[in-house]
Chains A and B, each alone.
Chain A
Amino acid sequence: MKIEVLYSEVANLYGDLFNIHYLEKTIPNLTVYYTSLNDKPKFVEHKIDLIYMGPMMERFQEVIINKLKPYKKRIKELIENDTIFLITGNALEIFGSKIDDIKALGIFQYYSKRDFSYHHNSCFIGEFNDMKIVGFKSQFSYTYNNKNNFIKVINGYGMNEQDNNEGIRYHNFIATYLIGPFLIYNPPFTEYLLKLLKYDGNIAIKEAVYEAYNIRKEEYLADNLNFKH
């Protein structure tokens, strides 16, 4: 099995690479390619099972858009052919139509707006395929006009102040603003992802991650908490 991690030298802001380290602990004989800004992405010419990119400082979004622009057609084709993409944090904005006035890849029609005077932080709980999804947000931007919803919000913010849905799901393109090691926080989702990857082993340190997940889930489901502040 092959995973490609895009531009981790700049797109790993909040411990997000542990999404990949966790998959490495889980799946034996996993090959992970770390593609740097000056490299040609592996997915252009090779079959990759999962393509990952995490959050970054805003100035790097434009740099990465320019790096990926030549491969827009290829990315579209991979998405339509059900290649798995896992895109976390503001990396998802790169695949939309624009970020403020910056023209993005335009693979999806959604667009994003930044506001550096307001740094958004919140906890999150939502639902996807009967699974509770928990996580955290920390961002300067919101995204609008997304048509391909991923997680239904139970408590917290969606893609923007009004949206009751979080993230993007189109074929196997999965993206979310939830930062950090999303896969470690959400063992049921990780097991779902493993099925998509056609891997049938157990997740690493299953008992401990489920224990932490269950405690967080119960905590975040409490009626008196309000993550939308």
Chain B
Amino acid sequence: MFYVSLWLSKLYLFLTKNKMNDKAGSLALKLDKNFYRHIKKPNIVIAVTGTNGKTTTCNFLVDLLEKSGYKVTSNKEGANFLPGIAKALMKGVTLFNKAKVDIAIIEFDELGSKKVLPLINPTYIAVTNLFSDTMKRNAHTDYVFSKINEGLPKDSILVLNADDLISSQLGQNNKKIYFGIDKLKTDTKVNHSLVQDIRVCPKCYTPLEFSYFHYHHLGKANCPKCGFTNPLPKYNLTNIDYQNKTITINKEKYLLVNDSLFNIYNELLAITILKEIGVKNINESLKTLEIVKTRYNKIKIKNIEVISQMAKGQNPIAVSRALNYAKDLSGNKEVIIILDDIYDYEALDRSEVMSWIYDSDFEALNDPSIKKVIIGGFRAYDYKVRTLLAGVAPNKVFTSRSEVDTYKYLDLKKIDKVIIIHDIYLNKKALEIISKIKGELE
């Protein structure tokens, strides 16, 4: 059945011209129950998961490897579960099941570890980080940690974040390689974020002593009682030069792709993996690397810079990073926030838990450079309460039930920048807002 499965799913993929869905993968799995066992896997399989940054890291890896001359297959055009991964593997072989790529880059869902990993037996398993996430799905970090741990094949090499005292503890019996960011000028001695997913020693429950925080719980800590501390990184990022756009890892300089620390971690992880598999001339490929435009986009309309920043709604870390990013941008700004879960709101058995906004750093909006906070969507009133409790003056906070109509509250004559923080599924609305702003200005 395997060849029927392979050929028909390849034919389907050819006829449908590689649409952004996983039907070809579902078809392959339906026709051969042991598809995963039969399909020839490339020499190197790299699986990537974690709360934040897994998609961007995978995109970086695919781009960088292709630019370095490797043949790569990946599930970036599909979902991060069994059918999407089957499709990726199927694309990586010839009609006679011979590997035609060198490497597979597989993003997988944290909760899918047990189902996915034994089937693909990755050479490397990279975990970006573990944070509080969409509570509906992911409950809490203990839960996600145990879910990842239960699927780790014993021969896979783990690539882990040394600055994360949660995910760095994964895979007790696996070989591990750590990456990390050293103390930076922008670090803080106290954590200014609401969420800090680890505060006490996991061994003896004594409060941890942090010598610095990069953000949230990422940083360096030790337990005064039992000595528990961060592992030492093999790939150590020691300097970020924002002016000359470079980062230094193990004394070598690399081009900086994006200046948010959030994305610097993704770049560091990608470079770590490239170094491990022996890729040369990484800088040559970094020159033309970009973040996908739906995730982050910046355009200049007349004198105003309009920035759209995607942030997964219900994910307090992603939203906190986006809010802090807005605060740290230079100039006078107005911020539009559209983060509602539109699918949940349409469901009669809805279960949207809105408490995540109280884990997100809306306090960042309480900054003199932010002139207005404009919130769009059916939950705008909840966000308004949150923003007021963050200390933002009531005359700076505006709400609109329609996401697109938020643009009406902008005061475009008085500001330098508009930042639109939007959910993954509200990308279209963000684009509409941008075109409305264009209309106003041109």
How would you classify the secondary structure of chain B's contact residues: helix, strand, loop or mixed? helix
Given A15-B358, A121-B351, A121-B353: A138 touches B143 (CB 8 Å cut-off)? no
Given A37-B200, A37-B207, A180-B354: A58 touches B142 (CB 8 Å cut-off)? yes
B388 at the interface (CB under 8 A from A): yes
**A123 to B351, Cβ gap below 8 A?**
yes
**B207 to A9, Cβ gap below 8 A?**
yes
Determine how close the nearest CB of chain B comes to the CB of A135; give it in whole angstroms. 9
Given A37-B207, A205-B385, A225-B350: A9 touches B199 (CB 8 Å cut-off)? yes
Q: How far is the CA of A37 from the CA of B384 in the complex (A)?
A: 34
How would you classify the secondary structure of chain A's contact residues: helix, strand, loop or mixed? loop
B381 at the interface (CB under 8 A from A): yes
**A57 to B349, Cβ gap below 8 A?**
no
Q: How far is the CA of A179 from the CA of B200 in the complex (A)?
A: 22
Given A9-B200, A37-B200, A116-B143: A14 touches B359 (CB 8 Å cut-off)? yes
| Interface residue total, chain B, C-beta cutoff 8 A | 34
B289 at the interface (CB under 8 A from A): no
Which segment of B52-60, B132-140, B365-373 sits at the interface? Answer: B132-140
- List the A side residues contacting B353 at CB < 8 Å: 14, 121, 123, 136-138, 179-180
- List the B side residues contacting A25 at CB < 8 Å: 389
**A63 to B389, Cβ gap below 8 A?**
no
Q: How large is the interface on A (under 10, 10 to 19, 20 to 34, 35 or more residues)?
A: 35 or more
Determine how close the nearest CB of chain A comes to the CB of B174; give it in whole angstroms. 22
A109 at the interface (CB under 8 A from B): no
**A121 to B136, Cβ gap below 8 A?**
yes
Given A10-B199, A123-B351, A208-B381: A184 touches B389 (CB 8 Å cut-off)? yes
Q: Which chain A residues numbered 1 to 51 have a C-beta less than 8 Å away from chain B?
A: 9-10, 13-18, 21-22, 25, 36-38
**B351 to A15, Cβ gap below 8 A?**
no
**B205 to A63, Cβ gap below 8 A?**
yes
B357 at the interface (CB under 8 A from A): yes
Which segment of A78-86, A167-175, A209-217 sits at the interface? Answer: A209-217
- List the A side residues contacting B200 at CB < 8 Å: 9-10, 37
B424 at the interface (CB under 8 A from A): no
A140 at the interface (CB under 8 A from B): yes
Q: How far is the CA of A10 from the CA of B178 in the complex (A)?
A: 27
A122 at the interface (CB under 8 A from B): yes
Q: Which 5 pairs of residues, A with B, have the shortest CB-CB distance?
A: A180-B355, A15-B358, A229-B349, A9-B199, A212-B381
What is B's interface to A at a CB cutoff of 8 Å?
A: 132, 135-137, 139-143, 194, 199-200, 205-207, 348-359, 381-382, 384-385, 388-389, 394
Can you show 30 pairs from A to B with CB atoms below 8 A apart?
Answer: A9-B199, A10-B200, A13-B140, A15-B356, A15-B357, A15-B359, A17-B358, A21-B389, A22-B389, A25-B389, A37-B200, A37-B205, A38-B207, A59-B142, A119-B137, A121-B136, A122-B351, A138-B136, A179-B353, A180-B355, A184-B385, A204-B389, A205-B389, A208-B384, A211-B384, A212-B381, A216-B382, A224-B348, A225-B349, A226-B348
